[in-house]
């Protein structure tokens, strides 16, 4: 970021009370001073640590850095330098208000390869809820410019060898008010798991997977994200929304990406079709607002998980575009799929989705910024 532009942004902050900034500085400053940066009121520096595989930072592993954070309820910044960090990571509930900032999502990668059927240290299968690469139990977590991946593939070969439990979560969030900006979250089956009653925001992220790759009971808003599928017969969402929650999984102004039919997936199957979602349990809600839908979206739009799956509380689209959302296709939506009216669609804004009143567990309103601001540069 050039200095004159940064000055203009800071001047604008005085008027607008918000400062959009890049995820990491473009001015070449790589200062690793733990006392650099200051908190939101400028009264004291924000504790900052550097994770670098080459030993030039404070820690060489992300888990080590998280474990070493003071348990003081104060904000902390963890800066991740380029490298592929092969580790299974947990940010526990005792460390709220952590901001994880990578130099660049294409070079700052956290990856693991657990899957639901793998046996844990206790001799029992990990299950879906134990298969994740990155677990966020803490509240008020923010990540920017980081890739989080689970490399285990739910291929026919792996299913034949390891059984049917091929769920392999990349990110699992159980805390409240988690935000991801310009991150890459990649996997295969069950990539992103909102496992709890909390609220999750993804902005300008790339999320990749195939079977139910965005799922769970959390209130999840994907805003201006790219949702990419890597297997034929993929399903984007599988919500398990509690009945007393007004919103479930919302994809807003997203681009849905599906490979051309001339290509084949990892099982050798041509890329032919996919579905927007299917019911998992409870009172499932999934809504696609102004999303770009490719021709490979089946005309029925939605599918079912089994004959005993609950009927969706709401499976809907609003003003979506693309060859998958032409009038003749929309008229064929099935399995509970419908179109929202303008009045209904107008309710789908972040302020409503994350409001205190949208779920009984919400202690207060939450309105995450649409742009990431580096707290160490405020």
Q: Is the pLDDT of residue 302 over 60?
A: yes
- Domain containing residue 89: CATH number: 2.160.20.10
Of 12-21, 88-97, 166-175, 335-344, minimum mean pLDDT range? 12-21
Residue 24 has pLDDT above 60, yes or no: no
Is 13 within a domain? no
- Distance between CA atoms of 84 and 51, rounded to whole angstroms? 12
* Domain count along the chain: 1
Q: Which of 28-37, 137-146, 187-196, 291-300 has the lowest mean pLDDT?
A: 28-37
Closest CA to 201 of 192, 213, 212, 191: 192
Mean pLDDT on 322-328:
98
Report, as an integer, the average pLDDT of 5-25.
38
Q: What percent of the chain has pLDDT over 70?
A: 89
Q: Is residue 264 part of a domain?
A: yes
Confidence of residue 41 (pLDDT cuts 50, 70, 90): low
* CA–CA separation, 190 and 167 (whole Å): 6
Asked if residue 145 lies in contact with residue 138, where contact means CB atoms within 8 angstroms, the answer is: no
**Which pLDDT belongs to residue 170?**
99
Residue 98: partners with Cβ closer than 8 Å, 6 or more residues away: 66, 69, 75, 76, 77, 78, 91, 138, 140, 141, 142
* H-helix segments, 115-260: 156-162
**pLDDT tens, position by position, 226-278:** 999 999 999 999 999 999 999 999 999 999 999 999 999 999 999 999 999 99
Task: Give the HSE-up count for residue 154: Cα atoms under 13 Å, Cβ half-sphere.
Answer: 28
153 domain residue, yes or no: yes
Report whether 181 contacts 135 (CB < 8 A): no
367 domain residue, yes or no: no
On whether residue 301 sits in a domain, the answer given is yes
What does the block give as tokens for 24? 């990491």
> How far apart (Å, rounded) are the C-alpha atoms in residues 117 and 241?
25
Return the H-helix or E-strand segment holding 355. Answer: none
**308-325 average pLDDT score:** 97
Q: What is the pTM of this model?
A: 0.89
Instruction: Report how far apart, in Å, the C-alpha atoms of 34 and of each of 27, 28, 30, 48, 58 are.
Output: 19, 17, 12, 5, 9
| CB atoms closer than 10 angstroms to residue 130 | 18
What pLDDT sits at residue 12? 40
Answer yes or no: is 363 within a domain: no
What pLDDT sits at residue 44? Answer: 82
Q: What does the pLDDT read at residue 42? A: 54
pLDDT reported for residue 296: 98
The pLDDT, as a whole number, for residue 109 is 98
Q: Establish if 111 belongs to a structural domain.
A: yes
Query: Is residue 100 in some structural domain?
Result: yes
Q: What percent of the chain has pLDDT over 90?
A: 87
Rounded distance between C-alpha atoms, residue 163 and residue 159, angstroms? 5
Residue 261 CA to residue 271 CA, distance in Å, equals 5
User: If you average pLDDT over residues 122-143, what whole number do you get?
Assistant: 98
C-alpha–C-alpha distance, residues 350 and 250, integer Å: 10
Domain limits at 343? 49-358
Query: Residue 377: its pLDDT value, please?
Result: 87
Say if residue 35's pLDDT is above 70. Answer: no
3-state secondary structure 261-276: CCCECCCCCECCCEEE
Average pLDDT, the chain: 91
């Amino acid at each position: 970021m050039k200095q004159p532009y940064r000055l203009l942004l800071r001047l604008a902050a005085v008027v607008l009370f918000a400062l959009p900034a890049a995820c990491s500085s473009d001015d070449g400053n790589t200062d690793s001073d733990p006392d650099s940066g200051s908190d939101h009121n400028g009264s004291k520096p924000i504790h900052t640590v550097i994770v670098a595989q080459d030993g030039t930072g404070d820690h060489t592993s992300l888990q080590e850095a998280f474990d070493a954070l003071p348990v003081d309820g104060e904000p902390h910044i963890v800066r991740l330098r380029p490298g592929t960090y092969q580790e299974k990571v947990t940010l526990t509930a005792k460390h709220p208000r952590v901001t994880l900032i990578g130099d660049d999502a294409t070079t700052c990668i956290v990856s693991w390869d657990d899957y639901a059927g793998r046996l844990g240290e206790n001799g029992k299968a990990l299950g879906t809820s134990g298969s994740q690469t990155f677990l966020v139990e803490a509240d008020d977590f923010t990540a920017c410019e980081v890739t989080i991946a689970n490399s285990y593939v739910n291929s026919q070969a792996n299913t034949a060898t390891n059984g049917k439990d091929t769920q392999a979560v990349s990110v699992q969030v159980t805390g409240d008010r988690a935000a991801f900006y310009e991150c890459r979250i990649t996997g295969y089956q069950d990539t992103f798991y909102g496992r709890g009653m909390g609220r999750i925001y993804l902005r300008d992220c790339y999320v990749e997977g195939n079977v139910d790759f965005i799922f769970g009971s959390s209130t999840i808003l994907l805003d201006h994200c790219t949702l990419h599928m890597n297997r034929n017969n993929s399903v984007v969402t599988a919500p398990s929304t509690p009945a007393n929650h007004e919103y479930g999984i919302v994809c807003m102004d997203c681009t849905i990406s599906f490979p051309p039919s001339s290509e084949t997936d990892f099982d050798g199957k041509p890329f032919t079709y996919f579905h927007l979602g299917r019911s998992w349990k409870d009172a499932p809600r999934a809504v696609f607002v102004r999303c770009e839908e490719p021709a490979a979206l089946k005309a029925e739009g939605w599918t079912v998980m089994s004959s005993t799956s609950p009927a969706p509380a709401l499976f809907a689209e609003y003003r979506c575009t693309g060859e998958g959302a032409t009038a003749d296709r929309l008229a064929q939506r099935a399995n509970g799929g419908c179109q929202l009216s303008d009045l209904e669609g107008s309710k789908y804004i972040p302020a409503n989705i994350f409001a205190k009143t949208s779920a009984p567990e919400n202690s207060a309103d939450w309105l995450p910024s649409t742009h990431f601001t580096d707290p160490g540069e405020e």
